[in-house]
Amino acid sequence: MKKLFACLSLLIGSFTTFAQNQYNIIPLPQKLTPQAGEFVVGKNTAIVSTSEFKDVANFLNEQLNLVTGSSKKVSIKEKGLASSSIQFVKNESLGDETYTLKASSKQVVIAAKTAKGAFYGVQTLLQLLPTQVFSEAKVEGLKLSVPNCTIEDAPRYVYRGLHLDVGRHFFPVSFVKKYIDLIALHKFNTFHWHLTEDQGWRIEIKKYPKLTEVGSVRKQTLVGHYGSGKYDGKPYGGFYTQEEVKEVVAYAKKKFVTIVPEIEMPGHAQAALAAYPELGCNPDKIYEVYTTWGVSDDVFAPREETFTFLENVLTEVMDLFPGQYIHIGGDECPKTQWKSSRFCQDLMKREGLKDEHELQSYFIRRIDKFITSKGRKMIGWDEILEGGLSPNATVMSWRGEEGGIAAAKEGHDVIMTPGSHLYLDHYQADPKTEPLAIGGFLTLEKVYSYEPAPKELTADQKKFILGLQANVWTEYMQTTDYVEYMVFPRACAVAEVAWSPISTRNYTDFTKRLKTHVERLGNLKVNYAKSFLSAK
Ligand code: TNX
């Protein structure tokens, strides 16, 4: 009898271990209670949804149909069926990005207040299924089992972003969509699309066609490091038409991803000046789209014509992007040309500005006023603190956390994106064995250790930290494969820092789950970096 009991508990024990191994979700849900048993999606399983969550239910259904080769349809009903079903139900008492998921042997029930919450429930459900569910074609003999559990989940931060610089290198719409899928998979809710640079203007503006005719093409590209690289001697270009932008915005909406478009000013403007030299400090100069990396001295002059131009550009941008934030750059604006410009010096005198930093602040304040008057919010890199922050600005803190801390103390909203922890253009492993990168050294473990709420802030001030974002600058990333290599799996760590409660943060546990998670990325044909698998 004793022996039988021991045998039985061994069996139950190993079953539980088996089941727990299936809960390899990234980002880790707030609360997950494993239960014995499993739900299996079979031929007779119905997907049932309220009409409000129908699109989300369809999104799940389409993926399941793809891997099973079935042609099942979602049924719209307020209440589920008695037999096997996956149900989507409304729960008014939950938060906007919150969901609960209950998997038991007969049913999986996802409850949410909003479609966005239900969508996050689906992302979790997909991660409870075998990793082959992420395949792009039918998988023969796939058993779609879900280990039983109860999940209550909600994000830690309201802003969870991933950025992509398409100025230094251009990436096609198909890749941007894949990037958005990966953003959604990790429960990020924001895609920061860095659309203009010294090295290329990448968005069609109807009123100023030369921005793309001239500004999107550079004569050649520096391959290798600034200072030691070589020019390839080949023209390089690319831009998104407004139709393409609309397509991407609509695509992102379906994945509950908001796009923050960025139009750089007053610096990082050389490509715009190549198209419209009259907006520069030296209108007689022949500007070219920048062919090297680094920061160009060619910046917008704070003339009335420039403000008119930028307001017209931003008007078209705001028509295309419905999100509340409009990013105006503001970073790395060398003041050399303003210092030697008669016009700038006169303007400073007239406006009572004591130095060029105050002139930068004057520039940004005017733009802030315009964006605010259109009912949107201006966001900028932390240099917009220079010479005094404009009243409605949200700050992206990239040169460490100092800018973010100062802004939060002044009562401004902040997104943390410090280079030390969230710059995915830095090396992730020994540079000797890695492809060329800009420099820096940022391991997966260091990303995972990031804490976005600085000790210097009081509890009330910490409320201004809306969240965090990882940045992907592409000077050295010429291909989409290389972008994927630099971004994954480090973005998985960023996602967990942004979403999961700090109390559950555990790097060993994360890397254990990550081993399963990269199988998903593999099925999605993501060229993730494998170095973390051999790291101790
Ligand atoms: C700084 S971060 C920049 C980018 C570069 C990046 C390289 C920021 C606002 N500006 O223009 O690409 O460093 O790491």
User: What is the per-residue pLDDT across 422-431, written as a single tens digit (0 to 9) for each?
Assistant: 999 999 999 9
- Indicate if ligand 1 lies below 6 Å from the C-beta of 425: yes
Tell how far the Cα of 381 is from the centroid of ligand 1, in angstroms: 10
Per-residue pLDDT, 466? 98
Express each pLDDT in 18-54 by its tens digit. Answer: 444 579 999 999 999 999 999 999 999 999 999 999 9
Please give the distance, rounded to the nearest whole angstrom, from the Cα atom of residue 425 to the centre of ligand 1: 9
pLDDT at 280: 96
Alpha helices (H) in 236-339, listed in sequence order: 242-254, 270-275, 304-320, 336-339
Q: Does position 63 have pLDDT exceeding 50, yes or no?
A: yes
Residues 66-87, mean pLDDT to the nearest whole number: 85
Position 226 confidence tier, pLDDT thresholds 50, 70, 90: confident
Amino acid at 75: S
- Chain-centroid distance, C-alpha 344: 37
Q: Does domain 21-153 have CATH number 3.30.379.10?
A: yes
State the pLDDT at residue 16.
40
Tell me what pLDDT residue 535 has.
66
Across the chain, mean pLDDT equals 94
What would you report as the CA-atom Rg of the chain, rounded to the nearest whole angstrom? 25
Atom of ligand 1 nearest to the CA of 425: 14
**What pLDDT shows up at residue 532?**
81
Look at residue 533 in the predicted model and tell me its pLDDT.
80
**Which residues on neighbouring strands pair with residue 164, listed in sequence order?**
193
Average pLDDT over residues 334-341: 96
User: Half-sphere exposure of residue 441, counting CA atoms within 13 Å on the CB side?
Assistant: 5
- 474 CA distance to ligand 1 middle (Å): 9
Report the C-alpha gap between 483 and 428 in whole angstroms. Answer: 13
Smallest CA separation from ligand 1 atom 5, residue? 473
**Tokens of residue 197, six digits:** 């640079």
Superfamily of domain 159-502: Glycosidases (3.20.20.80)
pLDDT of 363 > 80? The answer is: yes
Residue whose CA lies nearest to ligand 1 atom number 10: 331
pLDDT at 310: 98
How far, in Å, is the centroid of ligand 1 from the Cα of 423? 9
**Taking the CB of residue 373, how many other CB atoms lie within 10 A of it?**
9
Rounded average pLDDT over 395-405: 97
State percent of the chain over pLDDT 70.
95
β partners of residue 34: 149
Regarding the beta carbon of 38 and ligand 1, being less than 6 Å apart is answered: no
pLDDT (average), residues 496-504: 97
Average pLDDT estimate for 66-79? 87
Place of tokens 């931060």: 157
* 407 band by pLDDT with thresholds 50, 70 and 90: very high
Q: Is 247 in the pocket of ligand 1 (CB under 6 A)?
A: no
What residues does each domain of the chain span?
A: 21-153, 159-502
Element at 108 (helix H, strand E)? strand 107-112
Pocket test for ligand 1, best of 293, 295, 332 (most atoms within 8 A of CB): 332
CB 232 within 8 A of CB 220: yes
Pocket test for ligand 1, best of 422, 473, 486 (most atoms within 8 A of CB): 473
pLDDT band at residue 455, thresholds of 50, 70 and 90? Answer: very high
Binned at pLDDT 50, 70 and 90, residue 15 comes out as very low
Distance 473 CA to ligand 1 centre (A): 7
Whether the ipTM is more than 0.90: the answer is yes
Q: Is residue 473 lining ligand 1, measured as CB closer than 6 Å?
A: yes
